[in-house]
């Protein structure tokens, strides 16, 4: 099919996520045809670095033979079978692996298919858990301003990005928002507003939900060290549950397998998605402690069942991909290799900080946000209508790199498998794109 035909089909029939279709229809969409390692290729054979890991999901590169083979092998057995009333090997094996790898205390795995559903499940489990304890007043959730947990309505209810979430406000359940921890210099101060809410609503809070260490979707906002641990202490003190949304931070992104490990924290519920299958297939998981799990046990007539599931919950192909991804972590010692890569990125970012239109550079492992500003001192943002972040990413594309901005924050979230040379080359392109678009060169 000719490029023109394809383009027409896309522009006439498709509706893209997070996309103003009026602009899209007037544009010339880039069709990705293949990928290999940390690069993807378009229909004309042009290559691009996949500098945002295909929206934060890819870990080990594209077309990894081990993951391809695992999926193919599973495909030869069965592509899908349900977990409602039936079991299958990949789901059981993966559940054991995840429990062994997760922070201590997490004992059960409930599958779904996207990060947002993993969050929905955590919220519903928390709520129902308290009902089973006879604590019917625990209907409130505490969440953080600038937090992001997905786009379904429960996840939006605990979402703190008004640009995305504001319009749906009337459809949502009540959530108490504490300020983003990124606004505070130290953990204790940052957690005070959470404590105030816990005190005010003592006995009414079902759970506190947070992204550990870094609020990704709001532009890689970093929490002060110790904040997550402080949240854990507060949840214990006020006897409520902590939900860690590790959808973005999980699977090595922050330098450890899970971000919670940096602060020795075990949440009561943990949401996993994005990198779970190495970026291959949609799969998510909500991990729960034995205490939560056991509260759902009882005679069927007690109605303690968790009535929740999806058609493709725990899809065998996706579980096989996830198992192969975890094998790669072991065999390639992926986590051990991250420290030098992260350090290399940190050093390279130092140079970028010197650019006059770079306001702040935020890094947590291989999660990086480079914030662009009209002026640094005094700090003046670009007008949002100027879409400076989008222009820089567009320019980067012409230089052979794909990423997507968050407002005026240029996102750099490379596959974990990127070599140091890849990382240097990608950051070089990003810097050139910034210089060219902000007139620094
Ligand atoms: C991306 C993301 C989600 C939502 O995941 P989807 O797979 O897009 O539904 C939830 N929480 C966090 C922290 C995320 O970054």
**Per residue of the chain (441 residues), what is the pLDDT tens digit?**
787 899 999 999 999 999 999 999 999 999 999 999 999 999 999 999 999 999 999 999 999 999 999 999 999 999 999 999 999 999 999 999 999 999 999 999 999 999 999 999 999 999 999 999 999 999 999 999 999 999 999 999 999 988 877 889 899 998 999 999 999 999 999 999 999 999 999 999 999 999 999 999 999 999 999 999 999 999 999 999 999 999 999 999 999 999 999 999 999 999 999 999 999 999 999 999 999 999 999 999 999 999 999 999 999 999 999 999 999 999 999 999 999 999 999 999 999 999 999 999 999 999 999 999 999 889 999 999 999 999 999 999 999 999 999 999 999 999 999 999 999 999 999 999 999 999 854
Distance CA 272, CA 60 (A): 17
For residue 47, count other CB atoms closer than 10 A to its CB: 14
Using alpha carbons, select from 386, 400, 390, 406 the residue that is nearest to residue 432.
400
In this structure, the chain runs to a length of 441
Cα torsion 410, 145, 253, 358 to 10°: value is: 30
Phi, psi of 301 (to 5 degrees): -70, -15
Distance CA 363, CA 255 (A): 11
| Residue 3 pLDDT | 79
Q: Rg of the Cα trace of the chain?
A: 22
| Residue 108 pLDDT | 98
Distance CA 401, CA 385 (A): 24
For residue 431, count other CB atoms closer than 10 A to its CB: 21
Which residues does a 6 A CB cutoff place in the pocket of ligand 1? 114-116, 119, 148-150, 211, 216-217, 245, 247-248, 273-274
Q: Report CA(37)–ligand 1 centroid distance (Å).
A: 23
Cα torsion 355, 356, 359, 361 to 10°: value is: 10
Domain range summary for the chain, segments of one domain joined by +: 31-60+333-438, 68-331
* Architecture of the domain defined by 31-60+333-438: Alpha-Beta Complex (3.90)
Report the nearest atom of ligand 1 relative to the CA of 246: 13
* Same fold flag, 31-60+333-438 and 68-331: no
Q: Report CA(150)–ligand 1 centroid distance (Å).
A: 5
How is residue 234 annotated by DSSP?
Answer: H
> Which of 122, 152, 247, 411 to probe ligand 1 with, by most ligand atoms within 8 A of CB?
247
CATH of 68-331, one of 3.30.470.20, 3.40.50.620, 3.40.640.10, 3.40.47.10: 3.40.640.10
Residue located nearest, by CA, to atom 11 of ligand 1: 149
| Residue 440 pLDDT | 56
How is residue 169 annotated by DSSP?
Answer: G
User: CB under 8 Å to 205, separation ≥6 — which residues?
Assistant: 138, 140, 141, 142, 176, 197, 198, 238, 240
> Which of 244, 273, 312 to probe ligand 1 with, by most ligand atoms within 8 A of CB?
273
Give the three-class secondary structure for 24.
helix
Distance CA 123, CA 114 (A): 15
């Amino acid at each position: 099919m000719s490029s023109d035909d394809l383009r027409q089909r896309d522009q006439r029939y498709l509706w893209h996520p997070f996309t103003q279709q009026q602009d899209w229809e007037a544009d010339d969409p880039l069709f990705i045809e293949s990928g290999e390692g940390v690069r993807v290729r378009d229909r004309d054979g042009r290559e691009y670095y996949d500098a945002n890991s295909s929206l934060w999901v890819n870990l080990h590169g594209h077309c990894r033979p081990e993951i391809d083979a695992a999926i193919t092998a599973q495909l030869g057995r069965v592509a899908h079978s349900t977990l409602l009333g039936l079991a299958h090997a990949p789901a059981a094996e993966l559940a054991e692996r995840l429990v062994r790898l997760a922070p201590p205390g997490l004992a059960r795995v409930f599958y779904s298919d996207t990060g947002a559903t993993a969050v929905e499940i955590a919220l519903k489990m928390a709520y129902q858990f308290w009902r089973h304890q006879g604590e019917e007043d625990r209907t409130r959730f505490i969440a953080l301003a600038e937090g992001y947990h997905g786009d379904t309505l429960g996840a939006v209810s605990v979402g703190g990005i008004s640009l995305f979430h504001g319009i749906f406000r009337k459809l949502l359940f009540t959530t108490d928002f504490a300020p983003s921890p990124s606004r505070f210099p130290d953990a204790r101060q940052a957690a005070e507003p959470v404590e105030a809410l816990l005190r005010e609503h003592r006995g009414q809070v079902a759970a506190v939900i947070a992204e550990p260490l870094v609020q990704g979707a709001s532009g890689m906002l970093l929490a002060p060290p110790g904040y997550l641990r402080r949240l854990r202490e507060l949840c214990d003190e006020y006897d409520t549950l902590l939900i860690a949304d590790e959808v973005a931070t999980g699977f090595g992104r922050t330098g450890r397998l899970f971000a919670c490990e940096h602060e020795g924290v075990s949440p009561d519920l943990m949401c996993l998605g994005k990198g779970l299958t190495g970026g291959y297939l949609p799969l998510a998981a909500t991990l729960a402690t034995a205490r939560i799990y056991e509260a759902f046990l009882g005679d069927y007539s007690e109605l303690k069942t968790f009535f929740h599931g999806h058609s493709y919950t725990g899809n065998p192909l996706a579980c096989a991909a996830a198992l192969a991804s975890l094998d790669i972590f072991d065999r390639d010692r992926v986590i051990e290799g991250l420290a030098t890569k992260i350090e290399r990125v940190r050093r390279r970012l130092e140079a970028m900080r010197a650019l006059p239109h770079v306001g702040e550079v935020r890094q947590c492992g291989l999660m990086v946000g480079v914030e662009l500003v009209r002026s640094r001192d005094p700090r003046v943002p670009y007008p949002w209508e100027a879409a400076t972040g989008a222009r820089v990413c567009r320019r980067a594309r012409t230089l052979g790199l794909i990423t997507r901005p968050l407002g005026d924050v240029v996102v750099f979230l490379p596959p974990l498998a990127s070599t140091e040379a890849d990382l240097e080359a990608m950051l070089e392109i990003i810097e050139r794109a910034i210089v060219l678009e902000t007139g620094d060169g």
